Chain A
Amino acid sequence: MGDARAGKLTIGDSVIETPNLFPVVNFYGGGTENSVYGGGIHRTVKEFMIGADRIGGDDAYAKFFDAVMTSVSSLTDYNVSKERYADYVYEPIKEREVFSPFNGVIFLDSGGFKFLNNESLDGSDFQEDIDQAKVFEIQKRMGGDIIVNLDHPITPSDTHEERLEKARKTGKNIEIFLDLSDEYTGARYLTLHGYNYSMMDAFLTEITDYVSAEKLRSSFDGIALGSLVPMKDNRSALIDAVIDCHEVLHDWGFDKLPLHVLGISSRAVPLLVALGVDTFDSSTYLQNAINGGYFLSLMETVNVNEANFDECDCPVCSSQHMRRWMRGNAPYKKDMLGPVAMHNLIIQKREIEEVRQRVKSGDSSSLVEYIEGTVAQDKPTRESAHRVVNHSLGGYFQ
């Protein structure tokens, strides 16, 4: 239907429906097994994921974690000791007793985004040098279902030379990554960077100095479009990038591969689905909750203190226990926001489900109607919404 597509993504034994939104989950936050390896909001989110007793042992939440995004960098961010690091990578996430109720797909990002702002992946706390080989080893040991090469994202202020240099570094990593992961059973995604056709084309040209286009096509199972985070609030630039990405992938013969957009806020999702993106990851459900934001819909947020839980029928808002936590009557003050994050995630997952059903219906007017009722109602996004409908969904005036 237009450029939008709905389907199934099969990775090993797991099948998820697309388009789909992967919530960012932090599996290891410096904690121990008792705290589900985390603290604060991250802990509570994981408790929902596994149906822990503390949130009432409810397993109704598992389905919202059919696929999740996490990153190698979540190990490096928490000053963990060498011993704790060794414990974290001792066995794959899903084989760990505490996470056994969880069987969603894990997209394990390389953490390359840490290279932005001249930061680096720093393994010094646990005495490890982080390079492509190390990142792959961690991905493997943590048991990622989808993994990507270690990439060097660009920023809008990079010069042409800087972008080429990053592409060359990424290209070297891709060569190593493909060698090392040849026997890997999960899916491998290729990271792609650029804000327009020519930049992405230059990126691909540069990395094919290291790995041939032929090899890229036969080795990778999907494409992950990165570097868009710095412009996530500039909708029209974001849409330009995704439209151009589609063209580049077509011209390079990658258009059959599923397309993932890395780290984009959920509000743009319906538009990007219309442009043909299959999967997304987002931490907005968490970020908003941390600031006390309670989603009324994809587009509307209120402070949790002003929320009327009677108006939401999600399992969180339907639970007296969780309502008390959201009102502030929780064992720890920080527990208050976990249920808010879970509610937010449910709102997002329901919206993506709605979008998927409309794409599946094969009737583009159904998706157009959805976009008109949501994204186009938001003034700053309206023009982009109308542009996408005209560009990819048959248009208003054809």
Chain B
Amino acid sequence: MKKAPKVNEVNEFLEIASDFEDPLEVIRESLSNSYDANASNIEIEIKSREMGSDIIIDDDGDGMDLRDLESFFDLGNSRKTDSIGYKGHGTKIFYKSDEIVVNTVHDGTNLRAVMSDPWKKLNNRVLPEYEVTETPVSNLHKGTRIRIHNFRSGQGFDPESLTYNKIEHYLKWKTIAGSTAHMFEDDQHEMDITVRLGDEIDDSYPEVETKNRLEFPNEQLEPDYSSDFPAERMCKHYGPTEVEADYDGGTTTLHITGMVGGKAARNELPTYGKHSAQFGVWLAKDHIKVERLNEAISHDNEFLHFFFVVNCQDIELSANRETIRNKSSPVFQALKEATEFHLSKVAQDPWFKEYLEIRREAEIKRRARNRRASLKLRRERVESGDSGEPSNRTEVLLTLARENENTLPGQISVEDYEPDSDVHAIARQNGKLRNAAVHCSLTNHFNEELTFEEVDLIICWDHGDPVVLREYERQGYLGEDIEIDLEENGLLYGDENPTYVEILPLSHHIEPMSPRAVADD
């Protein structure tokens, strides 16, 4: 007995439609379909509705005949061979709605198809049907109009969160409107794309209009020294370049195009989402960007300066076009290596190195300016006389040196200083070497969780908060008892054979500062 595995058609539709969440994905699919139908004009309208959104897509393309219409609604029998949509899954996104109405004119015939409650029916495990009516029309008419009623956006994709700004950037980044194909082919046909949003969504513009081409900011190879950041608008184009990459089993072709540039240049590109998440190296199919491959740029070059699109028709996409499926294939490996190879050439371009150098110099000069500003403040503080309190270890030691002869009991000279080690200094007192920890406040020793091992002396500006110290006495420190005698300036640490550590708080020996000298400029 032979048995064939069964396919549950309803579940198939449900699953595919569920892959799509964002109403913007409807736009992406529609633009690709219209492009495949040779449309030169496409208008999209989105309105917010109680349960989701109404979406109308209108193009002047070749229209559909009855068989095309069937594939539009069917699953897995796309008639398209050289098209952008993936196996015809894209249009199934429309099933996530309350009604689909298609009007399409092809060869003097208007076909109207209506499908009611597709989403409700699928969820009730019923395959939704559609009704087709045929009417003759004048040959002047052309194109397809699709109306989706109450498209169910996923959670977090409320149509009201859409703005013209967001849509425009999405178009340029994620759809054929941001295609780089025109840099490689002469015959890529141009499309005018218009999107209108209901006023309840965004009334800041009447519409957005764009073409199906991504353009780079103009080149500017020279720095602009009239600016504080001369490299900021620098920009160089790299490509378009066609690269063949061999792998075990074949050869694939890469179309690489890109630019390197400063912030001002990059800001001229449309962006989508977080600005910094947009740059780097994009892998693309059909010249539409899919996923980034920033590791293609070696680590000492910040990917942020780069914007590259690497198109390869041999990458395979997930149904929702968001990720690449064949990453473990040899063809992907070859693509990756060839991309790295190409970008290493860019990173070794003397122009790029010079650009980095100009940026670096501007950054150093900016830091120097900030230093000057803070230096001015510091000098003012010294002059005003309240600069007495050290703010780091070195200043504590400077205070020690300054006050040595005047006020301190016995000379203490610092012979060795390693601020990053646990015992910061080796001091000489009355001819003997002593291991010293140096702190602004005694409490810092505890905050930094330093041990008292090998420490004979703590040189500090003051004790810090006595309550904090008392808590350590109460609870112990690093698992051992500790006793601190602030009157006698000493501490005992450890349960058996406790260590004795002397404390030298400089503030106790020094009178409040008065201006000693006035700096003259």
A376 cross-chain contacts in B, Cβ below 8 A = 341, 344
B123 within 8 A of A: no
Contact with A along B337-352 (1 / 0, CB 8 A): 0000100111111110
Contact with B along A360-398 (1 / 0, CB 8 A): 000000000000000010000011001101110001110
A387 cross-chain contacts in B, Cβ below 8 A = 348
Evaluate whether A390 and B344 lie within 8 angstroms (CB atoms) in the complex, with A397-B236, A397-B238 already known: no
Q: Is the CB of B344 within 8 A of A395?
A: no
Total number of B residues with any Cβ neighbor in A under 8 Å? 12
Contact with A along B346-375 (1 / 0, CB 8 A): 111111000000000000000000000000
Q: How far is the CA of A217 from the CA of B238 in the complex (A)?
A: 44
A395 cross-chain contacts in B, Cβ below 8 A = 349-350
Evaluate whether A396 and B349 lie within 8 angstroms (CB atoms) in the complex, with A382-B341, A383-B298 already known: yes
Q: Which A residues from 36 to 88 make CB contacts under 8 A with B?
A: none
- The residue among B238, B344, B345, B349 with the most chain A CB atoms within 10 A of its own CB is B345
Q: How far is the CA of A397 from the CA of B237 in the complex (A)?
A: 9
Q: Among the listed A383, A389, A391, which residue makes an inter-chain contact with B347, where contact means beta carbons less than 8 Å apart? A: A383
A389 to chain B, nearest CB (A): 8
Q: Is the CB of A390 within 8 A of B348?
A: yes
Q: Is the CB of B349 within 8 A of A390?
A: yes
Q: Is the CB of A396 within 8 A of B350?
A: no
Q: Among the listed B298, B344, B351, which residue makes an inter-chain contact with A397, where contact means beta carbons less than 8 Å apart? A: B351
Q: Is the CB of A397 within 8 A of B346?
A: yes
B341 cross-chain contacts in A, Cβ below 8 A = 376, 382
B298 cross-chain contacts in A, Cβ below 8 A = 383
Q: Is the CB of B344 within 8 A of A391?
A: no
Q: Among the listed B236, B238, B350, which residue makes an inter-chain contact with A391, where contact means beta carbons less than 8 Å apart? A: B350
A259 to chain B, nearest CB (A): 23
B interface: dominant SS: helix
- The residue among B238, B347, B349 with the most chain A CB atoms within 10 A of its own CB is B349
B220 to chain A, nearest CB (A): 15
B343 to chain A, nearest CB (A): 10
B219 to chain A, nearest CB (A): 11
Q: How far is the CA of A397 from the CA of B350 in the complex (A)?
A: 9
A391 cross-chain contacts in B, Cβ below 8 A = 350
Q: How far is the CA of A211 from the CA of B348 in the complex (A)?
A: 40
Q: How far is the CA of A382 from the CA of B346 in the complex (A)?
A: 12
B308 to chain A, nearest CB (A): 13
A235 to chain B, nearest CB (A): 12
Q: Which B residues from 286 to 317 make CB contacts under 8 A with A?
A: 298
Q: How far is the CA of A383 from the CA of B344 in the complex (A)?
A: 6
B344 cross-chain contacts in A, Cβ below 8 A = 376, 382-383, 386
A396 cross-chain contacts in B, Cβ below 8 A = 345-346, 349
Q: Is the CB of B349 within 8 A of A397?
A: yes
- The residue among A387, A389, A391 with the most chain B CB atoms within 10 A of its own CB is A387
B346 cross-chain contacts in A, Cβ below 8 A = 396-397
Q: Is the CB of A386 within 8 A of B238?
A: no
When C-beta atoms are compared, the residue in chain B nearest to A377 turns out to be B341
A386 cross-chain contacts in B, Cβ below 8 A = 344-345, 347-348
A384 to chain B, nearest CB (A): 8
B347 cross-chain contacts in A, Cβ below 8 A = 383, 386
Q: How far is the CA of A391 from the CA of B350 in the complex (A)?
A: 7
A383 cross-chain contacts in B, Cβ below 8 A = 298, 344, 347-348
Q: Which A residues from 297 to 347 make CB contacts under 8 A with B?
A: none
Q: How far is the CA of A382 from the CA of B337 in the complex (A)?
A: 12
Q: How far is the CA of A390 from the CA of B347 in the complex (A)?
A: 10
When C-beta atoms are compared, the residue in chain B nearest to A397 turns out to be B349
B276 to chain A, nearest CB (A): 25
Q: How far is the CA of A382 from the CA of B344 in the complex (A)?
A: 7
B435 to chain A, nearest CB (A): 31
Q: Which B residues from 233 to 252 make CB contacts under 8 A with A?
A: 236, 238
B172 to chain A, nearest CB (A): 25
B351 cross-chain contacts in A, Cβ below 8 A = 397
Q: How far is the CA of A387 from the CA of B236 in the complex (A)?
A: 18
Q: How far is the CA of A397 from the CA of B348 in the complex (A)?
A: 10
Q: How far is the CA of A382 from the CA of B340 in the complex (A)?
A: 10
Q: How far is the CA of A165 from the CA of B347 in the complex (A)?
A: 40
B350 cross-chain contacts in A, Cβ below 8 A = 390-391, 395
Nearest 5 pairs of A and B residues by beta carbon: A386-B348, A387-B348, A386-B345, A396-B345, A386-B344
Some 15 contacts from A to B, beta carbons below 8 A apart, are A376-B341, A376-B344, A383-B344, A383-B347, A383-B348, A386-B345, A386-B347, A390-B345, A390-B348, A395-B349, A395-B350, A396-B349, A397-B238, A397-B345, A397-B346
Known: A383-B298, A389-B345. 11 other contacts (CB 8 A): A383-B347, A383-B348, A386-B345, A386-B347, A386-B348, A390-B345, A395-B350, A396-B346, A396-B349, A397-B236, A397-B345
